[in-house]
Amino acid sequence: MSLPFDPAPLRDNSQRNGFSGNQIVRWSEGRSESSLAEALAHPESRFYLFSGDRPLLRQGRDADAALWTHDEAVALGLEPGTAILLGLLAGTAVLAGSTGAEGTRSGTEAVELRAIAMAATLPREHIAGLAQARSYLHWHGTNRFCSRCGGPSVMKGGGGSRVCTLCATEIFPRVDPVVIMLAVDGERCLMGRQPRFEPGRYSALAGFLEPGETIEEAVTREIKEEAGITVARVRYHSSQVWPFPSSLMIGCHAEAISTEVVRDAAELEDCRWFEREEVRLMLDGIHPDGLSVPPPMAIAWSLIAAFAGMDGAM
């Protein structure tokens, strides 16, 4: 069995993870200040709508259940000023907008985005588009004032940035990087569980990358802080968009050079080593003690499956 640290052919493992497959051409450099108005006026433009932080879907869940015309969006309560131009999908302008917390009507339903991704009830390009839309709507909603002078900010370029009306500072959407990693010791991998996890669920460790850190340094620090394990080599595996509200999960394997677990009780309810065969039972959902791992849409599943040799890539 190959270890995750051995040379391997280049491949895009990230396409296996949930919220991947975004086909929206963002068109960032080709926009003007009239692009949003033009998209709103075009009869073929389509909206991803959100009621609160939940996508608004047509009941029946056909392939285009998440797309709405401008007239439909207005009828569903599109809030003025929330429309954002995401880009072009197959040449058609795609926008995002909010209907407020009570935006549902007969024939529609507001569904939690994680549930959509886990059940794959929409085509993957629309799940990815909804992830993009959710992050942008959240960012615009929480950046209405300038962080430099406190002045009100306005949308620029159809939503690609915001500009302060007082000091002219331009503000761009941010993405928060998170490292998520699986420490490996030969035929064993390290997993932990947080109190909020469902009973029996174990997963890879994770934490935010801090200023002044490389990915490898963040992986090393987080494993040491949470589990007391020292690691040497760190190898990147894949990444995942995580629109809650706007993170990028950076998945890695790390080679352990110590094995005694010293758990951070404030972070983890349990943390221990799992043999490869036991991990395979967890992945297959047949562990005799009912232990499990995150669902396949999660990057943690990809990291764990790669270790177990059950992702078809190793």
We report the CATH number of the domain holding residue 187 as 3.90.79.10
- Among the listed residues 203, 243, 205, 202, the one whose alpha carbon sits nearest the alpha carbon of residue 223: 205
How much is the pLDDT for 6? 57
> Residue 80 pLDDT > 50, yes or no?
yes
CA atoms of 94 and 128, how far apart (whole Å): 13
| 124 occurs within a structural domain | yes
Task: Tell me the average pLDDT of the chain.
Answer: 94
CB of 109 within 8 A of CB of 61? Answer: no
Torsion-angle region of 58 (φ positive above 0: left; ψ -120 to 50: alpha; else: beta): beta
> Residue 227 pLDDT > 80, yes or no?
yes
How much is the pLDDT for 314? 36
| 29 occurs within a structural domain | no
Q: Which of 151, 173, 195 is the last residue of a domain?
A: 173
| 314 occurs within a structural domain | no
| 4 occurs within a structural domain | no
Identify whether residues 220 and 293 lie together within a single domain: yes
pTM of this prediction?
0.93
Identify whether residues 215 and 302 lie together within a single domain: yes
Identify whether residues 190 and 298 lie together within a single domain: yes
Give strand pairing partners of 289.
none
How much is the pLDDT for 261? 98
Identify the H or E element spanning 109: strand 108-110
Identify whether residues 181 and 168 lie together within a single domain: no
| 205 occurs within a structural domain | yes
Q: By residue range, what is the domain housing residue 95?
A: 35-142
Read off the tokens for 285: 């959902």
| 16 occurs within a structural domain | no
At 3, the pLDDT band (50, 70, 90 cuts) reads: low
Identify whether residues 181 and 304 lie together within a single domain: yes
Identify whether residues 60 and 163 lie together within a single domain: no
Whether the bond into 245 is cis, omega within 30 of 0: yes
Q: Which of 153, 173, 193 is the last residue of a domain?
A: 173
Read off the tokens for 111: 């569904």
Structural domain count, the chain = 3
CB of 172 within 8 A of CB of 188? Answer: no
How much is the pLDDT for 27? 87
Q: What is the dihedral of CA 305, 309, 313, 314, to 10 degrees?
A: 140
Identify whether residues 303 and 181 lie together within a single domain: yes
| 278 occurs within a structural domain | yes
Report strand pairing: 92-98 vs 46-51.
parallel
Q: Which residue has the higher pLDDT, 29 or 108?
A: 108
Q: Which of 101, 126, 142 is the last residue of a domain?
A: 142
| 166 occurs within a structural domain | yes
Per-residue pLDDT tens over the stretch 29-58:
888 999 999 999 999 999 999 999 999 999
CA atoms of 11 and 72, how far apart (whole Å): 41
Identify whether residues 211 and 268 lie together within a single domain: yes
Read off the tokens for 82: 């929330």
CA atoms of 166 and 146, how far apart (whole Å): 9
Region 108-128: what's the mean pLDDT?
95
Region 93-102: what's the mean pLDDT?
90
How much is the pLDDT for 312? 58
